[in-house]
Structure 1
Amino acid sequence: MDALGPLLTTDTATDVRAESLTGFTFLELHARMSVVAPTLVQFMDSLPRRRSSPVITVTTISQLMYESNWSNNRLQKTFSIYFKFKGLTAKGFDVLHALGLVMSHSWISKAIRRMSRMTLDELRELVQKYPWVLTYDNVVILLKIFSQRLENLQKLTSGTAATAYLKPGATALPASANQDLKEQRAANLDSPITIRRVLDLAAVGNKKLRPYYAWLLLAALIHSPDFDLSTYKFKDHTLLQKPPPLNPLPIGKDAKSMQFLLSSVNQPEASYSDHVSLIDEWLKQLHMYGKQWVESIGREKVIAFIGDQLTVSRLRGLFFSFERLDFLLPIFGWLHFAMQAANSLHAQYLGRAKGHGFLASFTLLGRKGLHKTSTEGPFHAHLNEAIHHVGEAEFREIWRTVAAQSKATVEGLRSKTTSELVDLATRALSHHASSEALETKEFYTQFTRDLLPYLTLVAAIKDGDVGSLEALLPTFLFRFIGGGNNNYQEEALELLNGLNVDWPQNVADFVRQNCWLLTFTDNADNFVSFDQAQEHNIKDIKVTYKPPGPRGGWDYMRILHTAIPTIRTNVRF
């Protein structure tokens, strides 16, 4: 059994890192144990009444090794983190610890502190090597009281949580970008983007996006049950594939982002002074604060801060020397942008339960809770899903009309070649979703025309197509102006002004490539916006990994939150 020791021990300097906690598989350990102690492994494999299991064998041997020497605790450390954040109580830990399955409950408390410290130390090293951006948002947490007194009451607290994101393959901005950005901002202070320029950008963007709009109509046809794409003789033709992205983000190992949660603070982000204090706090946590760093950041750095509209509008008001934070690059998050676009469609096309519009469709589909917009709960996810369903139904109705004009049915369109189907989709776009359409169906024409940009926006975020996002900006600027959404009207205009007037080319490219979307996988269709990734982290802070006991106050959460990415990796292992 001494020969098995090296397989089940870990270096105490790195034992709570994600690589150590999850850097093995049971099959791999079983195979290595079979080489070192074949007789013991064969005996353990023969004990189960049913077929042998590498998991049972490795776990049993690990228990025996742990009982003989507490240093043989590789699996116990992994199991301890898993059970702790799956809700196991302290007494439950005592039972499993007695069985040799987990470490002690006191070890967990110390491990969380070490995990937090190691994570922050790693982040401080990485921000010196790779480009990074930062997001933060408010978090409201209810502090429960388990022994209520007049001086010890349950209360709702407000704080702020921040996350730093790094991309190893990103190209860092040169030190000169800071001064170039200041000079270009100053030079264009009295000459922002003009209405004519916005209209020109809208015309160019619509021309680029037209193939995507036509493809959305075509996809509704070929994926309908009546068409039955699986038996269509030209089903693999390239014309039936989605058009290539206008400007796709790269994928691969170096393109995957790394995220690190900073220590959350019990301070809201309500005022300008709050934001100044919060920025100081984040820089202090990154060890980028003090006289030397103040001068370096003020003269050589450009730091992108990403958040919702309220956050970035506050940051934009702090633009004026280092004390006035003109090294900031505030960027809105595309999740909140898409939410506002969906709410705008909802407000425009809600209609009545008996008539035309979303409400009639929601009633028919039995979708409850969508009659009124909300920023809480899963409302946006449900609304987005409903918009896609209603849009698909509308597109299929368009194809029924197109088929009828050819004296055919939707099923009869299977006789068409792929080029003929593409031509029909282009004609359908012109006749049913543009200014060329007949005025007799004005409502449905306008509805389809407004729906296509939203569906393209959602798809572009998922696919990492920043070119389509940029092309859509003028369209949604006009929508927000028409809908009276002053906040996001300003955000769309600020971004257009930055990309085309205020920012040097290298800064604009950095924003496109590193400040809009990110991915944690190698899949081309698995991108998310930065504010959506932050919302996932806030969910983990408020719900998934919220401390359940009486000592889960802000002092403990400040330590816990930086360890959440490692805990998440371990729990999902």
Structure 2
Amino acid sequence: MIAKQIYWVHTGSVAGFGLGRDISLLKRIGLAPKTKQTNPDYHDLKEIITHILKAHVLCCWLQITGSSSLAELAKSNPSPADLVQWLQLVVDKIILGCDVHNMQRLPTEAQDQVFVNACTFIRDALVFHELVQSIWVGDVGQMMDLLPQLTMMCIGSGNSNYVVEFLDLMQRMTYEWKPEFCDLIWDSCWLANTSGKRNGFFPLDQLQEHNSLWNKVIFVAEGPNASWKYLGMMSPIIPMLRRVSEHVVETFGVASKGKHYQGVSCEKEIELLMAQYIQEKVHTMEMGGHVSPDGLGEDVLWLASEKLMSGDVLKKWKEGKEVYIRETGQSFKGSEWAETDELVQGMGEEHEQDVLENLLSQLSQMMVDIQLM
């Protein structure tokens, strides 16, 4: 969800400075922006966001250190203290975007929109990267810490359904649920690890997709075995059958399909992107560097702040949590249906009384039978 959100928020146009231009430069035809009903594959999307993020961050290092290339920076043999100092400058000036927030208060013609666009993409892509890494190592605490940031991103991009889910989760985790229940949610309801390896975690819905693959494709019920009884018999033992299959492959060296997604080599793509960014001085702040709005992405945190200040987001969320007492009867007084409504309501009350009397009679008879025993 976050990957698709970053894709659509920062796509821009092919002639602008967003993802659309970078995708066209790398000739990733399958990732070209079309419509929101035709989202790209998640693995391809994750890969392109990661490559573009790395190119941006490396260019930021060159910009801060004043080096023309990474080789020149390496030859300078910087000390650990220099690296820490440069890293802090990268964080302050670009990732945290202190200059960006000050610039956004200026008139449009006085802003460097290209620099702002690059900084906002780096910020959003780093949140996505941190979320992916947290899932990979099973750090549910870090995932919980990212919820406010993810909520703000969803507010800014207009994903109202996810906003409600995130707000409800934070409300319940912080104020409503007991700590023991929160621990249960963290330990058993977010991530799964079927390999036992430290970096082998993945979301629980992805585990369900894996199970569906083995149930519906690998050990599919065909012919006379196509029955619910067969599926009920096979489903519990599929994990063991998978382990047996893996053991046979490892023992006898049987050729098999790979288990991991193999992406495109990132070095060439990153070098191509870095050359383009350096040529266009994307990470150099110059006042007045503005382009057409369709060529840039959007600052979702800025938009989210405006929506939160208006109060509509929290107001709608609060209204959705209100409990209303439903009326079981209907009243059409003053209309031609009034007498009929009163008659129907009276019949309902009489029927309810009959049910209660019947229930009490049955309970009394049960007590008598118990005493006789």
TM-score, scaled relative to structure 2: 0.57
Match among 177, 200, 205 for residue 526 of structure 1: 200
Supply the AA of the counterpart residue of 2:215.
I
**1:91 aligned partner:** none
Cα distance change of structure 1 residues 356 and 427 upon mapping to structure 2, 3 Å threshold: same
Give SS of 1:507's match. helix
Q: How far did 1:384 drift?
A: 0.9
Supply the AA of the counterpart residue of 1:383.
L
Alignment deviations for residues 108-142 of structure 1 (CA, whole Å, 9 cap, x no partner): xxxxxxxxxxxxxxxxxxxxxxxxxxxxxxxxxxx
Distance in 1 separating the partners of 2:81 and 2:143: 28
Distance in 2 separating the partners of 1:513 and 1:369: 37
Distance in 2 separating the partners of 1:542 and 1:350: 36
* Mapping of residues 34-433 of structure 1, within 5 Å: 340-370=1-31, 371-372=33-34, 379-404=41-66, 409-414=69-74, 415-433=77-95
Give SS of 2:98's match. coil
Q: How far did 1:402 drift?
A: 1.5
Would the aligned equivalents of 2:154 and 2:160 in 1 still touch at CA under 8 Å?
yes
Distance in 2 separating the partners of 1:358 and 1:417: 35
Query: Paired residues, what number?
Result: 232
**1:514 aligned partner:** 188
Alignment deviations for residues 537-568 of structure 1 (CA, whole Å, 9 cap, x no partner): 11222222223446424453333333322221
Match among 166, 170, 179 for residue 496 of structure 1: 170
Cα distance change of structure 1 residues 551 and 506 upon mapping to structure 2, 3 Å threshold: closer
Q: Which 5+ residue runs of structure 1 have no aligned equivalent?
A: 1-339
Supply the AA of the counterpart residue of 1:495.
L
Would the aligned equivalents of 1:460 and 1:468 in 2 still touch at CA under 8 Å?
yes
**1:557 aligned partner:** 231
Would the aligned equivalents of 2:214 and 2:220 in 1 still touch at CA under 8 Å?
yes
State, as a whole percentage, how many aligned pairs show the same letter.
28
Cα distance change of structure 1 residues 457 and 549 upon mapping to structure 2, 3 Å threshold: same
Give SS of 2:146's match. helix
Alignment deviations for residues 490-540 of structure 1 (CA, whole Å, 9 cap, x no partner): 121111111101111221222223322232334322211211111111122
Kindly name which structure, 1 or 2, has the bigger radius of gyration based on alpha carbons: 2
Which has a greater percent of helix?
2
Q: How far did 1:385 drift?
A: 1.1
Supply the AA of the counterpart residue of 2:139.
D
Distance in 2 separating the partners of 1:523 and 1:507: 26
Cα distance change of structure 1 residues 367 and 351 upon mapping to structure 2, 3 Å threshold: same
Would the aligned equivalents of 2:30 and 2:40 in 1 still touch at CA under 8 Å?
no
Would the aligned equivalents of 2:53 and 2:122 in 1 still touch at CA under 8 Å?
yes
Would the aligned equivalents of 1:403 and 1:410 in 2 still touch at CA under 8 Å?
no
Alignment deviations for residues 258-285 of structure 1 (CA, whole Å, 9 cap, x no partner): xxxxxxxxxxxxxxxxxxxxxxxxxxxx
Larger relative contact order, structure 1 or 2 (CA cutoff 8 Å, min sep 6): 2
Q: How far did 1:354 drift?
A: 2.6
Distance in 2 separating the partners of 1:377 and 1:551: 37
Supply the AA of the counterpart residue of 1:368.
I
TM-score, scaled relative to structure 1: 0.38
Match among 134, 137, 149 for residue 475 of structure 1: 149
Would the aligned equivalents of 1:403 and 1:409 in 2 still touch at CA under 8 Å?
no
Cα distance change of structure 1 residues 398 and 443 upon mapping to structure 2, 3 Å threshold: same
